[in-house]
Amino acid sequence: MDAGHKIQALRSNIERIIKGKPAVVEMAVVALLARGHLLIEDVPGVGKTTLAHSLARSLGGTFRRIQFTSDLLPADILGVSVFHQQKQTFEFKPGPIFAHIVLADEINRTTPKTQSSLLEAMNEAQVSVDSQTYPLPRPFMVIATQNPWEYHGTFPLPESQLDRFLMRIRIGYPDRADEKKVLDRPQLLHPADELEPVLTTQEVLDLQERVEKVRLDDSLMEYLLAIIAATRR
């Protein structure tokens, strides 16, 4: 199966669960192939977590979900060194950040200090704990969800954190026909659990390498630079 068919298989698999949102699914796949991270911002109940779970289930890698709360600590995400009594040494116990796809659910419900613990992981695909550096699995992607800032109990993400995301998208409510399809299907607690992987982690890495080799014409580069310059005025 060539690259185009693999990407289409991934999109089609996710769209089995995410009804009527092909553009949203496409952007999520683009973020994955571009080695980027995705921030999904919208009101509760539109399928933010389900989209992230569906993407993770479609890949043959590990998936971890972190529920961000006001009392969450950096060690709860990254891991902690624990003293081994028999060996008389410290052993590192990896946290949930050590996965191919990490869902940071309601990321803006925790404090800025805890939010910032993701910075190194998202930028360098590694974490540092007690002066030791630990590489993260490849491919590695953080999919974060957040409620609009005006909701109670939220902490706006700092600019340094927002800069780590390749894109921020909204899902929006489905139209009436697609909402009916959702109601007609069996009401599973976790709808994405019915999905089977359509790609392996090695296939994802191969696709990411092919994306990096796509030629960027000078005219398109100049256009992008003009847009970037316009955002700074």
- Report residue 30's pLDDT band, with 50, 70 and 90 as the boundaries: very high
Domain contains 77: no
Query: pTM to 2 decimals?
Result: 0.85
Residue 66 has pLDDT above 60, yes or no: yes
C-alpha distances (whole Å) from 121 to each of 73, 115, 118 are 15, 11, 5
Domain contains 78: no
8 A C-beta contact, residue 15 and residue 25: yes
More confident residue, 88 or 165: 165
8 A C-beta contact, residue 165 and residue 144: yes
| Mean pLDDT value across residues 63-75 | 91
Return all residues near 181 (Cβ < 8 A) that are at least 6 apart: 19, 20
CATH number at residue 116: 3.40.50.300
- CA dist 209 and 206 (Å) reads 5
For β-strands 89-94 and 38-41, DSSP reports them as unpaired
Number of domains in the chain: 1
Domain contains 117: yes
Instruction: List pLDDT tens digits, range 120-156.
Output: 999 999 999 888 899 999 999 999 988 776 556 677 7
* Predicted pLDDT of residue 177: 81
Residue 186 has pLDDT above 70, yes or no: no
CA 14 to chain centre: 14
Domain contains 86: no
Domain contains 23: yes
* Predicted pLDDT of residue 151: 59
Domain contains 38: yes
| Mean pLDDT value across residues 161-169 | 91
Its domain, for residue 118, covers: 3-69+99-126+134-231
Instruction: List pLDDT tens digits, range 223-233.
Output: 999 999 998 88
- CA dist 223 and 233 (Å) reads 16
